[in-house]
Structure 1
Amino acid sequence: MAAGEPGCPGGFYFRFLPQRTFSSLSSREITSRLRQWSMLGRIQAQAFSFDQAFQPYQKDDFVMAFFKDPNVIPNLQLFSDSSEQWTTLGTEVKNIEAINVPCTQLSMSFFQRLYDENIVRESGHIVKCLDSFCDPFLISDELRKVLLIEDSEKYEIFSPLERDEFLFRLFKHLCLGGSLCQYEDMLKPYLETAKLIYKDLVSVRKHPRTKEIQITSSVFKVKAYDSAGVCYPAAKEHEQTFSYFIVDPIKRHVNVLYHCYGMGEMA
């Protein structure tokens, strides 16, 4: 019996939390930015609660139980490229992949080196460069070079481990956007939006003894497979199609951040 099926000892049970809203994705200023980046209407966050203690080593059982849960199946949303609408899974998940994503950053000073390395000017303007392509992305500035071109001069200012950080991933996803993304000239909108989404999704607490702020969430990048192959976050894989599960073991909540690459809402 698979974890999470009714009657399974030790299985996780979930409940959809429709009342939990994410202002970082719904405020007027952010929706305007998401529209410009061709992500509006194709990105969203949902919250679910679960019923027992969670340890990161249980991630595979936890995620499989999630996809099997009768409270998740009719409520977990994904974007259908064929109908251009939000839908639910509608297929039986046979297998999952849950990759650990480090989540340790507590400050946006993580990105200060973009200024130090003259990728962004002191004024906040992103330095332009000659146009090139890193399929399917147009590279017209030094920021996108640092994000995408591994043999570029300044790619190594972020280590592989730093690039794996959830905060860096969020920032990169916003910078690259959807298929009709209009890039920003200034760094600030990317940093501000990444910070707001990060704070909205990730839980922190003050350590009772040291009083230091600690991140308590665990983050996983998730894929699910049915008998035909990948079915979630989408059958068609793309760097900008993703689902992250952000698990708060103290509140027993899981936030699901989802995006499907394509043409976002225009008006």
Structure 2
Amino acid sequence: MVTYFPSNMAVGEQALKQQFTFSLLPSKVFAFTQDRQTTEFFMKWSMLGRISAQAFTFDQLFHPYRKHDFVSDFFRDPNVISNLKVIDPLELWKPFERDVASVNVEIIPCTKVSMDIFDPLYNSGILHPNGHIVKCLHEHYTDFDELKKMLLIEDSENYEIISLENRVEFLFRLFKHICLGGELCQYEDVIGPYIETTRLIYKDLVSVRKDPDTKEITVVSTVLKVTACDQSGLCYPSRTREEQNFVYLIVDPLKRHVHVLYHSFGVGLFKT
């Protein structure tokens, strides 16, 4: 669903709603961006310098039904506009600094608190017993394998070993993004790096809590997949539509923090 920002005639009506305001959390450090092994994987997968995470705080109670207000206010907030990092057409990092005309917001299911979702990969013919990914012939790609078939080809025999319900989960989407990588991705022969990197990023971005009585752990974050348009069309996360150009806002309603996971598809960079 697309939300358009109000015209001048509608400003009075919009003003009746409390707007969200945001502030950058410059001291927030995401562990996966500092981990040396993860950095080496990002370099290998052509994602180094093209994937980033930032944190902002906000001032109002957040409820998922207000997702469009939240995202619209996010892209109008001067602290966001001046601090949100993007890669420009010249492959340079710079502040967002654009006038957004409309936003598209999709709530992404996020309920997983373990990596059990990936267990079917180990007994389906996608992996050898030692964790190596089974190779297969492909008319266009010499390095195609059973994992990519499962991720990309809906009529492949292994597509539904991960249920459709689980395929829409943020954890699985994150795994798919990691596996597909950037423009010059050097793919892994074993599954381990993909699983471990997904786990680190997910743990870094998503908030959970434990029920003091039942001891059950549940996710408290709401995950929003977003795009934004200016008067010329799509402007965020990129001017071009590509599955590996993505942005997720991961909202913690208790801490009133929002984490921004951003990736711009292309050849790996070495500066952010």
TM-score grouping bracket, smaller chain normalisation: over 0.9
**How is 1:31-50 mapped onto 2 (pairs within 5 angstroms)?**
31-50=39-58
Residues 138/181 of structure 1: CA separation in 2 closer, same or farther (3 Å cut): farther
TM-score normalised according to structure 1 size = 0.93
Distance 1:90 1:265 in 2: 22
Q: Give the aligned residue type for 1:237.
A: R
Equivalence for 2:124: 117
Displacement of 1:131 in angstroms is 2.9
Greater strand content: 1
**Do the aligned residues in 1 keep the contact of 2:85 with 2:94 (CA within 8 Å)?**
yes
Q: Deviations over 1:186-206 (max 9, x none)?
A: 100000000000000000001
Alpha-carbon distance in structure 2 between the residues aligned to 1:139 and 1:253: 40
Matched, 1:102 2:106: no
Match of 1:195 among 192, 196, 199: 199
CA offset digits 1:141-184 (Å, max 9, x no partner): 10000000111111111222211110001100000000000000
Partner in structure 2 of residue 84 of structure 1: 91
The answer (yes or no) to whether the contact 1:132–1:139 under 8 Å persists in 2 is: no
- SS of the residue corresponding to residue 41 of structure 1 reads coil
RMSD: 1.8
* Structure 1 Cα separation of the partners of residues 184 and 17 of structure 2: 48
Over the matched positions of the two proteins, sequence identity in percent amounts to 53
Structure 1 residues 138 and 251, CA, compared in 2 at 3 Å: closer, same or farther? farther
Per the alignment, residue 71 of structure 1 pairs with: 79
Q: Measure how far apart 1:138 and its partner are.
A: 6.6
Aligned residues: 261
Task: Please tell me the residue identity of whatever aligns with 2:137.
Answer: L
Match of 2:227 in 1: 223
DSSP 3-state at the match of 1:97? strand
1:150 aligns with 2:154: yes
1:130 deviates by 0.8
Q: Which residue of 2 aligns with 1:233?
A: 237
In structure 2, give the amino acid aligned to 1:214.
Answer: T
- 2: CA distance between counterparts of 1:203 and 1:67? 23
Contact 1:139–1:145, Cα closer than 8 Å, also in 2:
no
Residue 112 of structure 1 aligns to a residue in which SS? helix
- Whether the 8 Å CA contact 1:38–1:266 is kept in 2: the answer is no
**Partners of 1:49 and 1:252 within 8 A in 2:** yes
Cα distance in 2 for residues equivalent to 1:89 and 1:266: 20
- 1:204 aligned partner: 208
Letter in 1 for 2:150: V
Does the aligned pair in 2 maintain the 1:41–1:265 contact within 8 Å?
Answer: yes
Partner of 1:141 in structure 2? 145
Offset of residue 90 of structure 1: 2.6
Query: How far apart, in 2, do the equivalents of 1:138 and 1:96 lie?
Result: 39
Q: Are the aligned partners of 2:209 and 2:219 in contact in 1 as well (CA < 8 Å)? A: yes
Deviations 1:46-97 (A, max 9, x none): 00000111001100000000000011110001111x2111112232111101
**Counterpart contact for 1:224–1:232, Cα < 8 Å:** yes
| 8 Å Cα contact 1:202-1:215 kept in structure 2 | yes
The residue identity in structure 2 corresponding to 1:103 is C
**Equivalence for 1:17:** 25
CA displacement 1:177-236 (0-9 Å, x = unmatched):
000000000100000000000000000001133221010000010001111111100011
Normalised by the length of structure 2, the TM-score is 0.92
Q: Does the 8 Å CA contact 2:117/2:162 hold for their aligned counterparts?
A: no
